[in-house]
Structure 1
Amino acid sequence: MISLYNEPDTHETDELPVDEFLFRLRDLERIKGDGDLRGEQQFTLSHVLLVVTKGRGTITMDHYDGRLRPNAVYVCPPGETFGVSADPSHGLDMFLFRFDVFRQAGKRNSHLQVVREQRPFPVEREFPASASSQLLSLCEIVNRCWQSGDELERFRSQIAFQELLYCLLKSGRLPAEDSKSSLARAKAYMDQNFDQNVTIEKLAHLAGVSPKYFVDLFKKTYGISAIDYLTQLRVNRAKTLMARSGAKLRDIAHQVGYHDEFYFSRKFKKEVGVPPTVYMKSRRRKIAAYSAPIVGHLLALRIIPYAAPLHPKWTSYYYQTHRSDIAVHLSAYRQNEHWESNIDMLRQARPDVIISMDTVDPGEKQKLEEIAPVLYVPSMENDWREQLRMVARFLGESAEAEHWLKNYERKVEAAREQLANETGGDTFLIVRMRNEHLYAYCNRSMAAVFYGDLRMVPAYCCESDVYNQRIELGRLAEVDADRLLLMIRQEPETLSYWKALRQTPEWRQLKAVRNNRVYVIPPDPWREYSAAAHERIVEECVRMLSGNRPY
C-alpha cells in the first residue's frame, strides 16, 4: 500500500542510506530560452531537479541565490520556491525534472510514505556533475521515453531516470575543487581588503594569470565583473557604517576604500538608487514595515525600511532589489503565516516605529504595540493615494509624498497617450488561472491603475470594479476580448493545466490567441496595492504592450 502522507517523517532522513528510498518521476520539461527568459518563482510540492546543458543564468531557491551553468545540477526540495532566468548574452537550455521520493514506513515496512519534509539524498542545492556527455545522454533518453505515447517506453523513462540519479549521486561523491584555487584566492583577497587600493593587476598576479584573462575568467566564473564585485563589497560595508549614529560621509568613504567622497557619492547613488545622504537618513530612523504594501509606500517616499517582510516569491521585487539594504528580514511566507516569529524579531530589533496595514489580528496588534509606536493604515477605507499621504504625515514627509504623486501623474499621462496609440481602443480581459479553473479577475490595483489611470477598455462587464468570477472557456470566447492578460499560479497543478490548455482547439480559436495578443503577468506588482507597486504596473504596461511581448 502507498500512503501519501504530508506529515514530517519521525526518523532522521539524513542518517539513512540512499538505498532506503524509492524515486518516481512525475513530470519532465525541457526549457529553452534566450536572454529574455525570466522565470517567475514557483512553489513546488515535489522535488525538483534542474540539469543545465547549455548557457548560463541565475537561480533563486527560497533565500538561496546561485549561478546556473553547464556541468552543474540544482536540487529544490518540496515546500520551497524556485525561479530561473537566462543571462542576456548566453541564453539557457536545461531539463527540469519533478519527482517524488518514497521510503518504507513502519517497522514492518507495510507501506510507502512520501518524503517531503527532509532531504532524501546527500546533495546540496547545487553540486558539480562530472561525465557531462553521459549526463546529457541520460537526460535525452529520459525525455524521449517520457514523451512517448507507448506505455512501455514511458516505463523505460522511469528506469532511465533512476540511472540518471545514480550518475548524479556518484558525481556528488567526488571531492570538490580546492577552495584555495588561484581565482578563489584573488576573490578572498578582495573580500578581506576591499578598503585598500585593489587593482586588476594585483588580483591577476594573485591568480597567476594575465590581467585580461583574469577579467574574463572572473566574470565567467562568478557572473559579475571583478570591479563590480569590489564596488558591491564597498557599498554594502558603507551601508552598515551608515546605520551608526554620528558617522560622517567623508569618513565612511575613506573606510571603504574611496579617497574622494564625491566620487563615492556618485558610485553609491548608481548602485543603490538614492544618494548616500538620503540613505543615511532612512537608516538612522529604524522604521519597520510590517506589511508588503507599506514597503511600497515607504519606497515612494525614498525611505528604505529597517525591517520588512522579504521572500523571493511572495515579495519578489523587494527581495531582489533591497534585501541587502534592509537589516531585518521578516518572514513573508504565505501572507504572514509566521507572525509570531516576526514579533520576536522586531522585539530584538527595537525599531523606532512600526507601520502596518490594519488587517492584523487584535492579539497581534497588542504585541506590536508593546514594541514601538504603531501606525495602522486603513486597507479598505482609504485609496492608495490617501494611504501614501497618511504614511507621509506620520513620518513628516508630506512634501516628498506630494512630489512623488506629481511625478506619478506625469508618468501616467505620458503612458496613457502612448498606450492609446499602441492598442487603438482594444478591449482587455485579465484572467486568473488557479489549478484547473479560470477566473475573470480584477483586483483593486488593476481597477485603480490599469482600467483607471491608464484607461484601458474592459471586455468583461461586472457590477463591481473588483471581481474574481469563475469563467468557462466557452464564456471566454463569448467575451471575445482583443487582448488577454494571464495571471498563472506558479504551482505544479496550475502549470500542468496551462500547458494542456494551450493545445486545445478552443483556446487556439480565441481572438486574442489568434492575433498573438496574450500576455502573462506576474502577481508582483499586480496584486500589491501601494504607490511604488502602481508605478511599476504603469512601467510594465508600457514595456509589455508597446513591445507586443506575448506569452
Structure 2
Amino acid sequence: MNSKDGIPPAGAFGQLDQMWFRLRSITHGSNPGGEWPLRLQFLESYMLLIPIAGQGSIIVDGKYYELKAGCVFVCQPGQLIEASMEDTGEQSVFILRFDALSQPCRPEQPEQVHSTELHVPFPLEGNIAIQSTITYSKHCEAITASLGSTDPLQQLLAQSRFYELLFSLLSDARQLQPSDSDTDTIMERAKTYIEQHYREELSISLLAGEAGISVRHFIRLFKQTYGLSAIEYLTEYRIRQARSLMLPHTNYELKDIAAYVGYKDVPYFRRKFKQITGVAPATFMRNAKLKIVAYHGSLIGTLLTLNIIPCAAPADHPWTEYYRRKYETDAVLPLALDDAIRIQQLASLRPDYILGLEPSVSRRMLPQLQAIAPTFFVSTLQTDWRTQLHFIGECVGRAPEAAAWLNNYERKAKSIRAQLGQGSAMGKLLLARISGQSITVLSTRSLAEVFYDDLNFIPASVVDRRLSNQTLTPEELWSSDADKLLFIVDEDAASQAVWSEFRDRESLLPPDPAGFSRIEYLPPYPWTEYNSFTQELVLDSALALWRNQT
C-alpha cells in the first residue's frame, strides 16, 4: 500500500460497484471552549468523524489515534470506540453513521459465499487525509439541511449528497499520501492489507513491500507489535473467516469454505483449523449446531470467546444487542425477566444445554431447568475467569477451543508486557472505583488481574491485595506513591462530581516531561464484568492508557 491507516491501493476501489450506501444519521458536535465527548460504545454501523475545527483523540478497540482538522476518521461496525475533543478553543465535529452493503450474490456461486461477516468491506479505515476541510463542512451542512426535512425528496437529496461526500473522501484517499511513517502506522497498514487480501497468496516480501520497509525489519516489527508473525496472523485471520461460514445459518461444503478463505489444499486447511481452534472443522460445525442458553447475561462474554451464539439470552442485558450485531443473527431468543415465563420459553426452545450462575438460581428453579436440558452452573465467587472458561468449555464440549483461546490470550499479554517495559519503567499503579462519595481500591479480579498479574504492573504501596473492599479517602489516594491512577467512574451525578474534582486537581500538578497523563478513567460498563471477553478488552486497552497525547 502507498499510504497509511488502512488505506488500500487503487485497485481495491474496483469493488465499489458491488456496494451501495445508506446514511443513517448526521450530528454536529460543537462546544466552544469546552470538552466534547463521544461516549464509549460498540458501533453497529460505519461511522465518519469529520473534525472541522479543534483537535482531539479516539480510542478504537484499545488503540489511541488523533482526531484533527484535515483528516476524516473512519470507524468500522463492531468496533469499541470512545472519542473526545480537547477543551481549548473552538470545536466542531460532524458525525455520520452509515451502512455499506454488498450487492446480493447467487448461492450457486461458491466463490461468492454470502456471509454477513464477509460483505465487501468499505475500503477505508482510520485517519484519512483530506484536501479541504471547507469542502467537507459544506457537504455536511447540505446533508444536515436535507436529511432533517420531512419531504421525501429532500431526504433522497440527502442520500445523494452523502454519495458526493463519499466520492470526495475516496478521491482524497487515492490521491493523498500522509508523510507520517511511525511504527504503529506501518504495522497497522500491513495488518489491514492482510485482512483485505487474505484470500490471495501473500508472502513476507510482498507485505514488506506494502509496508515500505525491508523484509528483515518487517519480520521483527510485526512480531514485536502483534506477538506473532505476519504469516501466523494471516492464518488466524483466515480461520476466523472460515468459522463465520460454519455457523448454523450457513450450509457450505468444507472444500468451498477452504477455497474461499485462501486454501486450495483441504487437508492442509483442516490441519491449520485444528491448530488454531483446537478442534477439527467437522467437530466445530457439529458443535455450532448445538443450542446453548445463557441463562444469565454475564455468561455471554465467555460464550463470545468460545465462538458460541446462544440460542437464548436475557433481554435486559446490554451485551445481547451487541451480540446480535456482531453475528447479525435473529436466532437469539430474548429471555423474559419473569422466571415462570422463562421456563415456558425454554421448554418450547428445547435447548441442548443451559448455563447459569451458581448463586443466582433458586432451588425450586433447578429441577425445572434440568428437566428441560442438561444444566450447569458456573461458580462466580470461588473461581477465577480462566477456571470459569475451562469449566464452560468442558460442559459444552468446547474444552480444546477454550485452551486455544487462553494460549492466544497469554501470547498477547506477553507481547504487551514487552511493549510496556518492566518494573520501575512502568511506575506504580493504583486502580479504584468511584461510586458516589466512596473510593474503593480494585485489588482483586477484573482490572487488577490484568494489570497486576498479567502485565506485571507494580501496585501502589497503599494497595492491599488481600482485601476485596479496601476504601480510601481522597487525601489518602492523592498522598499515595502511585505514578498512574485508573478509575472506574459510575455514571451518577455524585460519582461524576468526585471524578471532576480529581481531574481539576490533576490539572494543577506539574506536567509530565514526556506529556503522559497520570490519571485515566473507564465507565463501569462493560469493564466491571468479570469474564474472558472483558479481560481481553482490558488487555487490549492497556497500551492506550496514559500514553503521550500531546
TM-score, structure 1 normalization? 0.51
Contact residue 473 and residue 506 of structure 1 kept, 8 A: no
Offset from partner CA, 1:266-305 (integer Å, 9 cap, x none): 9xx99xx989867633431111222344334334444443
Structure 2 match to 1:354: 354
Q: Are the counterparts in 1 of residues 464 and 470 from structure 2 also a CA contact under 8 Å? A: no
Number of positions where the alignment pairs a residue of Structure 1 with one of Structure 2: 385
Match of 2:288 among 283, 288, 291: 283
SS in 1 for 2:530: coil
Q: Decide whether aligned partners of structure 1 residues 407 and 178 sit closer, same or farther in structure 2, where only a CA change above 3 A counts.
A: closer
Partner of 1:243: 248
Q: Check conservation: 2:432, 2:488, Cα contact below 8 A.
A: yes
- Cα displacement (A) at 1:240: 9.4
Match of 1:14 in 2: none
Q: Please, what is the CA RMSD of the aligned residues? A: 6.1
Q: Is the 8 A contact 2:354 2:374 kept in 1?
A: yes
- CA shift in 2, pair 1:286/1:478, >3 Å: same
Cα deviation per residue 1:320-373 (whole Å; 9 max; x = unaligned)? 6x3425721546xxxx96766655554443321111221323155455334322
Q: Separation in 2 of the partners of 1:71 and 1:428?
A: 35
1:294 aligned onto 2:270: no
Structure 2 unaligned residues grouped into runs of 5+ = 1-29, 43-48, 53-71, 78-91, 99-124, 130-137, 174-195, 200-239
Spell out, residue by residue over 1:9-34, the C-alpha distance to the aligned partner (whole angstroms, 9 max, x if none).
xxxxxxxxxxxxxxxxxxx9669999
Quote the Cα distance in structure 2 between the aligned partners of 1:344 and 1:176: 48
| Counterpart contact for 1:520–1:550, Cα < 8 Å | no
Q: Counterpart of 2:377 in 1: which secondary structure?
A: strand
CA distance in structure 1 between the partners assigned to 2:95 and 2:458 by the alignment:
49
Query: What secondary structure sits across from 1:467 in the alignment?
Result: coil
1:328 — aligned with what? 332
CA contact (8 A) 1:483 1:512 kept: no
| Equivalent AA in structure 1 for residue 490 of structure 2 | R
- Against the structure 1 CA distance between its residues 393 and 283, is the aligned structure 2 distance closer, same or farther, given a 3 Å change threshold? closer
Residues 481 and 512 in structure 1, CA contact (< 8 A), matched pair in contact too: no
User: Quick one: percent identity of the two aligned structures?
Assistant: 24
Q: CA deviation at 1:487?
A: 1.4
Question: Is this contact kept in 2: 1:308–1:329, CA < 8 A?
Answer: yes
Contact 1:353 1:374 in 2 (8 A): yes
SS in 2 for 1:382: coil
Q: Is the 8 A contact 1:451 1:458 kept in 2?
A: yes
Which residues of structure 1 form unaligned runs of 5+?
Answer: 1-27, 43-50, 61-67, 75-86, 92-129, 137-166, 185-206, 220-227
Deviates more, 1:490-499 or 1:167-176: 167-176
The separation in 2 between residues aligned to 1:349 and 1:441, in whole angstroms, is 40
SS of residue paired to 2:356? strand
- Write the distance in 2 (CA, Å) between the matches of 1:402 and 1:169: 50
Q: Establish whether residue 40 from structure 1 lines up as the match of residue 40 from structure 2.
A: yes
Q: What residue in structure 2 maps to residue 548 of structure 1?
A: 547
Q: CA deviation at 1:131?
A: 13
How far off its partner does 1:239 sit?
6.6
Contact 1:392 1:401 in 2 (8 A): yes
Distance 1:262 1:52, change over 3 A: same
What residue number does 2:508 align with?
A: 508
Q: Is the Cα contact below 8 Å between 1:296 and 1:533 reproduced in 2?
A: yes
CA separation in 2, counterparts of 1:324 and 1:475?
Answer: 48
Q: Distance in 2 between matches of 1:312 and 1:263?
A: 43
Distance 2:265 2:38 in 1: 34
Conserved? CA contact 2:460–2:480, under 8 Å: yes
SS of 2:40's equivalent in the other structure is coil
Q: CA deviation at 1:262?
A: 6.2
> Could you tell me which amino acid in structure 2 is paired with residue 294 of structure 1?
L
Contact 1:433 1:486 in 2 (8 A): yes
Structure 1 match to 2:310: 305
Query: Which residue does the alignment assign to 1:177?
Result: 155
Look up the SS of the partner of 1:432 in the other structure: strand
Give, in whole Å, the separation in 2 of the partners of 1:516 and 1:413: 24
Greater relative contact order (Cα < 8 A, sep 6+):
2
- 3-state SS of 1:535 partner: helix
SS at match of 2:288: helix
Structure 1 residues 241 and 455, CA, compared in 2 at 3 Å: closer, same or farther? Answer: closer
Residue 460 of structure 1 deviates from its aligned partner by: 5.0
Distance in 1 (CA, whole Å) between partners of 2:311 and 2:148 is 45
Cα–Cα, structure 1 residues 305 and 379, in superposed 2: closer, same or farther, change >3 Å? same
Distance 1:278 1:436, change over 3 A: farther
